[in-house]
Amino acid sequence: MQAPQLVGKLGRNDLKLIGRDSFLLFMFSFAVIIAVVLRFGLPWLDGQLTENGVLPNATIAMTLPDIYPMIVAYMAIYTGALLVGTVFGFVLLDEKDNNTIRAMLVTPVPLNQYVMYRVGGPVILAFVIILGMALFINQALLPLWQMILISAGGALTAPIVSLFFATVAENKVQGFAYSKFGGISGWTILIGWFVPEPWQWLIGIFPPWWISKAYWLALDGSHWWWVAFIIGVVLQIALIRWLIQRFNAVVYR
Task: Give the tens place of pLDDT for each residue, 118-135.
Answer: 899 999 999 999 999 999
Please indicate whether residue 248 or residue 45 has the higher confidence score (pLDDT).
45
Coil, strand, or helix at residue 60?
coil
What is the per-residue pLDDT across 137-188, written as a single tens digit (0 to 9) for each? 999 999 999 999 999 999 999 999 999 998 888 878 788 888 888 888 889 9
Residue type, 104: M
3-state secondary structure 26-49: HHHHHHHHHHHHHHHHHHHHHHHH
Q: In whole angstroms, how far apart are CA 17 and each of 12, 31, 36, 98, 170?
A: 9, 19, 27, 12, 18
| pLDDT value at residue 253 | 64
CA distance 234 to 25: 31
pTM value? 0.93
Cβ atoms 96, 163 nearer than 8 A: no
Average pLDDT estimate for 91-116: 73
Closest CA to 161 of 101, 106, 238, 239: 239
CA distance 156 to 231: 13
Residue type, 97: D
Q: Identify the helix (H) or strand (E) that includes residue 212.
A: helix 209-219
| pLDDT value at residue 2 | 58
Average pLDDT estimate for 31-36: 96
Domain locations in the chain as residue ranges: 3-252
Average pLDDT estimate for 72-88: 95
Q: If you ran DSSP here, which 8-state letter would residue 76 be given? A: I
**Cβ count within 10 A of residue 51:** 8
Cβ atoms 76, 216 nearer than 8 A: no
